[in-house]
Structure 1
């Protein structure tokens, strides 16, 4: 391997590793979600919108899941890209009690863009997408799928 190729490989690896440790941006309360809070954890990343009826029905189930001490971290993402005060207001109107990310993590987690809502992605503790859950989910249903995947 030439010196330039090695430098390019090393630089690319350094960028990848630095992205892994980067913070996840602000939540709906303006608090920074630090990478140390999510590293090595199973994640359920749920995309929602105010105009989505099934999302509204699903949110209480996700609140229960987030409140349970299961080891599965629930994260929300607004499908319409709301941020700041708009995101905070929408999350409050829908009664969302789990963390809602102001920055969409789809690129970071290599998530496909869904054309339907609600959609949730089950991410394992190594950061790999394990399941795509399309449509309204229940707390117990998600826990069952998560237990199968672990």
Structure 2
């Protein structure tokens, strides 16, 4: 086997090894991998928001607080599914969103129903099941009540 053949075989093996690797399907608005399975074992809130939605803007500070609570995380989804990443980052900064926001809407891939009203928050149990859909602006108290009712 020549050195060229050896290098080709090594390159092929490397490429084949990548096929079996777990690569994330989703990224946040800053390019960081977002893997829903990282949140198993805790409560997860998926919040749909838009820059033009006044109730969405009102609830962002509450969601930021909730995201700092033990055993609860928040992920955001921009309802308008903005493709321009710079524009999405500007909106996240403008609204002072402190929790991760999906770069693209994962609703279809995760078999969720896309909400028709904003804001909408999905409450996902520690075992990964959507247990409640909350419509309207949420507070720390309303989220605590929703989680208590779902337990």
Q: TM-score, normalised by structure 2?
A: 0.77
Matched-pair contact (CA < 8 Å) for 1:41–1:73: yes
Residue number in structure 1 paired with 2:75? 75
Residue number in structure 1 paired with 2:8? none
Residue by residue, what CA displacement relative to the aligned partner does 1:63-119 show, whole Å, maximum 9, x if unpaired?
A: 0000122x1111100000024212111100001001111122212332212211000
Residue by residue, what CA displacement relative to the aligned partner does 1:34-75 show, whole Å, maximum 9, x if unpaired?
A: 345223432110000000000000000000000122x11111
Matched-pair contact (CA < 8 Å) for 1:77–1:104: yes
SS of structure 2 residue aligned to 1:73: strand
TM-fit CA distance, 1:22: 5.7
Is 1:114 aligned to residue 115 of structure 2? yes
Matched-pair contact (CA < 8 Å) for 2:26–2:106: no
Structure 2 vs 1, CA of residues 45 and 35 (structure 1 numbering), >3 Å: closer, same or farther?
A: closer
Unaligned runs of 5+ in 2: 1-19
Residue number in structure 2 paired with 1:143? 144
Unaligned runs of 5+ in 1: 1-17
C-alpha RMSD over aligned residues: 1.9
Q: Report the count of equivalent residues.
A: 130
Q: Which has the larger radius of gyration?
A: 2
Is 1:39 aligned to residue 40 of structure 2? yes
TM-fit CA distance, 1:120: 0.5
Q: TM-score, normalised by structure 1?
A: 0.78
SS of structure 1 residue aligned to 2:33: coil
Query: Stretches of 4+ moved more than 6 A in 1?
Result: none
More helix by share: 1
